[in-house]
Amino acid sequence: MTRILLSAACLASFAALSAQAQSRPEDTEVWSPKPAIVTPAAAVGAPPSDAIVLFDGKNLDQWVSSEDRSPAAWTVADGVITVDKAKGNIETRRAFQDYQLHLEWRIPADIDGSGQGRGNSGVFLASTGPRDAGYEVQILDSFENQTYVNGQAGGVYKQHPPLVNASRKPGEWQTYDIVWRAPRFTAAGALASPATVTVLHNGVLVQDNAVLAGETVYIGKPSYKAHGPAPIKLQAHGDPSKPISFRNIWVRELPPRL
């Protein structure tokens, strides 16, 4: 019996080696469909060839008021948008679902206030209502400014603190590079898959495919309500500190995750 088992094992090994010998490198090569060609920008942070430019330093044609969809009325000067807190939040004219977003923001060098009252703003990755409804990645002066950690710069507001604090000091431009995967819902409105977000703050990973528990809220627990593609929103926070600025905003639409 032992000899028979050994012989069977030898035959199996020989068959495996024989099959491997008959395989070719090209058996595992995939040649089509070929990925689309995207030309990278010559300058770091500039939009690649397939990007939709949301702000190029000239005007706010791609933006509207979140409150009534009238033309956005924040200040544009010297290639920079500055928040006008009296005019409220602004959002993109277009709606998006899954995307890669790049934006740059700056806290005033002479910023005043403390905690959440110091350069507060936010980028809402899907705006689901006129004010602060949606999914917010926090913008704040977090350079030597103490606040609750799930409310500091790079955090998914009140859900995920940033993995590290990568903030630059006030007066310096900062970057967010964000990959957003929107939630999906069934025809009946039930959650089919949650939203996820990856964020690099000044080139440093601060959110690693974080799973959201729902829309970000100031009070209470997050929850989902069914929605489709939605605008990207920038917040005019009501704190009394000096307003922040934005520049170089672009987005790349992504295909749905398989």
The per-residue pLDDT for range 4-42, each reduced to its tens digit, is: 444 555 555 655 555 566 789 999 999 999 999 999 999
Q: Concatenated DSSP letters for the chain? A: -HHHHHHHHHHHHHHHHHHHHH--GGGG----SPPPP-PPPSSTTS--TTPEEEE-SS--TTEEETTT-PBP--EEETTEEE--GGG--EEESS-BSSEEEEEEEE--TT----GGGSS-EEEEEEE-SSSS-EEEEEE---SS----GGGSTTSBTTTB--SS--PPPTTSEEEEEEEEE--EE-TTS-EEE--EEEEEETTEEEEEEEEP-SS--SSS--------SB--EE----SSSPPPEEEEEEEEE-PPP-
What's the pTM value of the predicted model, to 2 decimals?
0.90
**Fold (topology level) of 29-253:** Jelly Rolls (2.60.120)
pLDDT of residue 15: 56
Residue 16 CB contacts under 8 Å (≥ 6 apart), including other chains: none
Total residues belonging to the chain: 258
Structural domain boundaries in the chain: 29-253
The pLDDT tens digits of the residues spanning 135-190 come to 999 999 999 999 999 999 999 999 999 999 999 999 999 999 999 999 999 999 99
199, pLDDT greater than 90? yes
